[in-house]
Structure 1
């Protein structure tokens, strides 16, 4: 095999070429093997049309894969919830089973389960490909539900195509998106939250917790039913309606998909589905995730590949999702799951800790997703920085469009916790934020939803702490609040202006949402008080939250229409650690940050190209809660240096704790 393109582009990968080629060969061999069995990847990924419930007109057909089962019965009200020979599955080849039931017996809205028997035991289960699961409000028990509404949903997004250059993501959790202390619905989100996202300027929504999960407080990451829309938030049609409305407003919708592990639950999930621990998962210790209390898929099994690949196709086809953010990719890539492992050199990636079956699955998934929808978006949540992860498959990569830059939020939290801002090193900041592998698109973000969970703090809460509660009104004066608001804007602006590919914000963080996220649990009396978003704080004209919201809107708009639209590289212009001045350019935009808390600089000199420059964004603008110390109407003309007529210097006043973006207007040609 020839040297992969992405290896040619990075000479540091040359010593590991054989390992990379071995991975590519494994993928190609698996792809050929699957084609021999199923015809092609597209055919293989239609598993949800073969398994699960299928409407045959007068009958309903249900198929299941359970190779260790001896008998399977369909149970429900029709059988008094007991095994009945009349509702016994027929055994097929290759561990498959099927049953046909008249629609008069099993109709829309009816509840049912499976009762499996195996050598030495039995258990109640929900079908593995089931697309509707509901929980009884009193008993809290989950059951499968027949969902065959009379009318099909009418889509109105046939001409929609994501406009994601750059991709600006608003990450949202449907359930906690209400201001009321409750679980919000898809319809309420569409009516009340979607308009806010549209107004804020984001072009992509990333929805969390869509796949059904038994425990609400898991944030949706302990999935039980991979093909079922979480019924907590409404019906499948209501989710479709939300996505349809987003598309009509030019906004893409991607799903947080969890294929890195599965909940251990047996009745609701896939755990010991047919009585064995190894049906979908690795047997023994390898099948147990040591940190997440969950089960690890065996990506080497054909049936597991079909299940997961069909799941990828299902959400694209049935719900018109525009792609996925794959959760927990680092855990999938390595046998050690990336736990307490320092990735300090390329040798840490390419060794016997790689899970080559997982790498092959992710490559197959990206191939399938992009062939199912040529405009699809795939994002890898990977903290290791695995080389080739967001490189095309043709170039020898895994095929993701973007990698989530997980080191950035970790860097900011560490910086805020461990150093007072008068000691912040701007050289370190610029290096940490702007570094990425050549050609690799990454999505940067300042803080993750994890950092907002109880026991941790959001950035704004770390900056202002208890002052948040009584000093955010316009009439209150507080140096702590002034500092917090100034740094909150600067941190976010530094992150987005150095990003290479896209930017992500978690719901509410754009306006400095107070406190933490704490889902209902026994320890808090099952309260929803902290599992919601207080939008009224942003809307209240007498509170300072509105300043952060207004700044975020301006920041997003400029990124979308300006420097991120062309994805120009960052070039350091003036990184002065003693002055705490960080200045860099991207195309015709000049980013200038003064992180000093005490020093404002008059006529600060920046060596830059000729032309004229105008301020297009200023964190100190009064509209954003600043002091208005800069005249934004002023046009700056760099002066030609007397000792070098080809060099120009821009002199500018830059207040303390202020960041500004200037746009260069090139001089007119004399020709």
Structure 2
């Protein structure tokens, strides 16, 4: 099978589904009947049935509808229950609280397609990655936007001589999950603005010769049913493994079933969508370890998930990075050499090693600067400076020995990590030396915005001891 032909076919299905519903297609093998409802038919749930095709496919031909039509799928399950669901290929979701009968998320198709003005930059020989989250890119106590990020953060990324930005939390998700509980894989998150705003962000980055990577969570998905893929058609085996194998007991999420051709097609077309529609230059695959093995943490033998290995071999036409922590060999080897074809491995153990060297062990030998999470660990800058980090960083007071020592130790750690760490370097937004403040977006972001924000404005303060 030619993968390029498959991608073109899948893209044509997406084109037909976007704005002009000549053919509305869904895959839902567990449903007895499927209907399309929305504002176009006054939310009548059975007035527009889809026709069943082979292999669990359903389709419906419709006349063109206006832009931003709100839609829902309606499934009749084998038990006679009606389920209202969002299309897995929804491009944009909005919250509607004024209708009680249906869940609060609606599918919106957008006709707008702004033209990208700037070509993709050449692939850098060595990546200097600025990992960023648009929602915490503003000093204001709010969820920041794509526009905030484009206006305020991109120029500083350029000035700091980073050549790559890795964007987190782009796929639609529950905001407090920090993008690690994706609900809608094709939808640009409406928390931060519109799809056009995101396209403008990517285009502006390309104008600055900054490569843009997308943080991809294809290993697992949200366990939500109303706005996610879990029990999509009333069965737990549609997109995910059936039974306990499909549940990640630690994360509370669902694990993708890579042995299903339709699931693999869905995920590969998802990568193609982000690459072609939004001009992302590559991907960082999150939580690869959780799907490399049938049972987490068991490395060798038949416990390796071969279906996952086959899937991970497909996306080889773009720059790709993985963050496996099990040490499985060969992931960055070429497929011809028996590897999976990844370009880079994100070495997750380096930050913990620096903390161990400084604090845990009395020995000589992705460092994080400050404690970023209210419920997280104390990282190396705070270990070195203690509470002086928050009270004695001004040039208006006498330099304390603990501050002087900690700053020089930090610079040495950065130098060694950057010089000896590998073929690339990554720094997370908020780990920059001008931001000695707490950030918290995991648990409290929806109620305590003063903890879930980025103090980028501190860059303009000239009275900090720490200088770039």
TM-score of the two chains, using structure 1 as the length reference: 0.66
The alpha-carbon distance between structure 1 residues 544 and 131, as it changes in their structure 2 partners (threshold 3 A), is same
199, 205, 209: which one pairs with 2:159? 199
Q: Does 2:74 align with 1:115?
A: yes
The alpha-carbon distance between structure 1 residues 97 and 384, as it changes in their structure 2 partners (threshold 3 A), is same
Aligned counterparts of 1:452 and 1:386: Cα–Cα separation in 2: 29
Is 1:163–1:203's contact at 8 Å kept on the other side of the alignment? no
Q: 1:358-398: per-residue Cα shift (whole Å, max 9, x none)?
A: 111101233xxx1xxxxx31001111121110011122110
Aligned-residue offset at 1:461: 2.5
The alpha-carbon distance between structure 1 residues 59 and 131, as it changes in their structure 2 partners (threshold 3 A), is closer
Aligned counterparts of 1:332 and 1:60: Cα–Cα separation in 2: 37
Q: Does 2:332 align with 1:390?
A: yes
Aligned counterparts of 1:41 and 1:220: Cα–Cα separation in 2: 28
SS across alignment from 1:198: helix
Aligned counterparts of 1:403 and 1:64: Cα–Cα separation in 2: 35
The alpha-carbon distance between structure 1 residues 535 and 55, as it changes in their structure 2 partners (threshold 3 A), is closer
Higher RCO (CA 8 Å, separation ≥ 6 residues): 2
Is 2:434–2:458's contact at 8 Å kept on the other side of the alignment? no
Residue segments in structure 1 that go unaligned for 5+ positions in a row: 1-34, 342-348, 371-375, 427-444, 551-671
Aligned-residue offset at 1:403: 0.4
Is 1:51–1:129's contact at 8 Å kept on the other side of the alignment? no
Q: Does 2:301 align with 1:362?
A: no
Aligned-residue offset at 1:179: 1.0
RMSD over aligned CA atoms reads 2.2
Is 1:409–1:448's contact at 8 Å kept on the other side of the alignment? no
Is 2:87–2:107's contact at 8 Å kept on the other side of the alignment? yes
Q: Name the one with the larger strand percent.
A: 1
Q: 1:134-193: per-residue Cα shift (whole Å, max 9, x none)?
A: 2237789221112112xx3111223x3334211110000011111111111112211110
- The answer for the alignment partner of 1:653 in structure 2 is none
Aligned counterparts of 1:404 and 1:56: Cα–Cα separation in 2: 35
Q: Does 2:92 align with 1:132?
A: yes
- The answer for the alignment partner of 1:454 in structure 2 is 374
Aligned counterparts of 1:493 and 1:506: Cα–Cα separation in 2: 16
Aligned counterparts of 2:211 and 2:262: Cα–Cα separation in 1: 31
Aligned-residue offset at 1:282: 0.7
Aligned counterparts of 1:528 and 1:351: Cα–Cα separation in 2: 47
Aligned counterparts of 2:180 and 2:214: Cα–Cα separation in 1: 12
Taking the TM superposition and a 5 Å limit, the aligned residue runs for 1:263-662 are: 263-338=222-297, 349-366=299-316, 370=317, 376-419=318-361, 423-426=362-365, 445-447=366-368, 452-456=372-376, 457-476=378-397, 477-511=399-433, 513-519=435-441, 521=443, 526-545=447-466, 547=467, 550=468
Aligned counterparts of 1:479 and 1:534: Cα–Cα separation in 2: 26
Is 1:448–1:506's contact at 8 Å kept on the other side of the alignment? no
Q: Does 2:39 align with 1:100?
A: no
Is 1:124–1:267's contact at 8 Å kept on the other side of the alignment? yes
TM-score of the two chains, using structure 2 as the length reference: 0.93
- The answer for the alignment partner of 1:71 in structure 2 is 33
Aligned counterparts of 1:148 and 1:484: Cα–Cα separation in 2: 53
Find runs of 4+ consecutive structure 1 residues off by over 6 angstroms. Answer: 137-140
SS across alignment from 1:187: helix
